[in-house]
Amino acid sequence: MTQESQAAEANASGNDNLLLQAAAPLLNAVVQLRQAVTHDDPAGLRQSLIDEIRQFEQRCKQAGLPFEMIIGARYCLCSALDEAAAQTPWGTRGVWSGNGMLVTFHNESWGGEKFFQLLSRISQSPNQHLWLLEVVHYCLLLGYEGRYRGSDSGRVQCDAIRKRLAKLIEETRQPQSESARPLVEVHPLVSSISRPMIPLWACATVAALLACLLYSALNWRLGNDAEPLLRAIYQTPLPQITVGRRPSSPQALLDLRQRLNDVIAAGQLEVSDGAFGSKVIIPADKLFAEQGTAINPVGRALLARVATAMKNVKGTVLVSVFTDNRPVDNSRFASSYEFSFARARAVTQLLQSQLADGHAIRSEGRGDSDPLLPNDSNENRTRNRRVEITLFAAPETLSNHQGTQ
């Protein structure tokens, strides 16, 4: 089956799945993105997709679909659109490189992990999440691979996941085929408004003002309502997978601990070496003022030291920012995830100016997920407020290291 026919099937099949019907234009866009080798106006395309995602949300709300279902489907669709764009020459640079759909709607730069975490969670209750499972299935049919992309057996693993999901959907739908289940009830909004004799421009001005206020209120509510779902996604355990062979001694390869020995001894940061890379852990209070997102001068000097230590090892740098469990006392942010992502972007921008070519930098806001200690004292909350900068060495760097041993 070609990708075009798969996208067409998304429009035609599952006629009782209102979520899939609402998502059909975005699934078609995934196919178009994969086939677009060149594009004259990537910025305009990005804006049109943003508008289409908002229309998708509106269609779902008009159909009375649950909020959690809409957010989950939007996350999967944004991930699929971003991956499709990333496979094109024009999608790896310019406006798309750091401002994809996930950044715009979920304050995240990569969804390859949480896509499959979400799938694992909703698969445990297929009757409750059948419509969302079918949307995820179509994303996989159209080539989405997420964290499996680039690994030796990634395509095989994705095919196995897709087949298991198709079987789960079929088994869930079979009991419902004997008696058709009712569609989600749609409540059209009908209003009768008497219009006073006032100028048209005044009506337009008031309407625009009300729309701005409504958008701000809904955006704030969306951030608050989405925070429990994001926390649940982050806390979902990942399955153990086997990846390519890594060097047995990453310390000798990355050597970050030795290069940062003086600031480690001064208690300004910690370095943790693992099987997949080296992680620098910095207390957030050393970089930012309380409830602030601007890096202070001491923090800038500290991050410059970290960048200098990482400069000679090409690879991917992941910036993760964590908060404690206290509410964010900043009117700019609706949730701790938005707040932590803003801090992560600030650190990323500074590192980009310091690191040489050959480093890909990603950022994520983790909010109050994954605390190091229970948030039951000021000391523990201070430990949990942290910035983690993880360096994953590029394959060619690993190959050179193995060749010299």
The CATH number of the domain holding residue 265 is 3.30.1330.60
Q: Are residues 43 and 155 in the same domain?
A: yes
User: 356 pLDDT exceeds 60?
Assistant: yes
Lowest mean pLDDT among 21-25, 131-135, 221-225: 221-225
Count: domains in the chain: 2
Q: Are residues 399 and 272 in the same domain?
A: yes
pLDDT at 281 (0 to 100): 95
234 lies in a domain? no
What strands, in cross-sheet order, belong to the sheet with 359-367?
Answer: 270-273, 278-283, 386-393, 315-322, 359-367
Q: What percentage of the chain carries pLDDT values higher than 70?
A: 74
How far, in Å, are 150, 200, 203, 206 from residue 195 at the CA level?
60, 11, 10, 13
DSSP 196: P
User: 178 pLDDT exceeds 60?
Assistant: no
The answer to whether the beta carbons of residues 393 and 276 sit under 8 Å apart is: no
140 lies in a domain? yes
Query: Looking at per-residue confidence, does 206 or 68 come out higher?
Result: 68
pLDDT at 235 (0 to 100): 55
pLDDT at 244 (0 to 100): 46
Last residue of a domain, one of 143, 177, 211: 177
What is the spatial distance between Cα 220 and Cα 224, in angstroms, rounded to a whole number? 6
CATH number at residue 10: 1.25.40.590
Last residue of a domain, one of 124, 153, 177: 177
231 lies in a domain? no
Cα of first residue to Cα of last residue in the chain, in angstroms, is 47
- Which single residue is written with the structure tokens 């599952």? 14
Last residue of a domain, one of 138, 155, 177: 177
Domain that holds residue 18: 3-177
19 lies in a domain? yes
pLDDT at 223 (0 to 100): 59
Q: Are residues 294 and 399 in the same domain?
A: yes
Q: Are residues 143 and 266 in the same domain?
A: no
Query: Looking at per-residue confidence, does 299 or 328 come out higher?
Result: 299
Q: Are residues 275 and 389 in the same domain?
A: yes
Lowest mean pLDDT among 65-74, 329-338, 384-393: 329-338
Segment 352-370 mean pLDDT: 84
Q: Are residues 261 and 156 in the same domain?
A: no
76 lies in a domain? yes
pLDDT at 21 (0 to 100): 92
Q: Are residues 7 and 137 in the same domain?
A: yes
Q: Are residues 20 and 120 in the same domain?
A: yes
Segment 113-118 mean pLDDT: 87
Lowest mean pLDDT among 89-103, 115-129, 335-349, 391-405: 391-405
User: 186 pLDDT exceeds 60?
Assistant: no
- Which single residue is written with the structure tokens 């409830």? 291
How far, in Å, are 36, 91, 107, 151 from residue 331 at the CA level?
40, 33, 17, 42
Q: Which residues make beta-bridge pairs with 388?
A: 281, 320
Task: Kindly report, residue by residue over 191-222, the tens digit of the pLDDT.
Answer: 333 444 566 667 778 788 888 777 666 665 66
Q: Are residues 171 and 255 in the same domain?
A: no
Three-class HEC string of 58-126 = HHHHHCCCCHHHHHHHHHHHHHHHHHHHHCCCHHHCCHHHHCCHHHHHHCECCCCCHHHHHHHHHCCCC
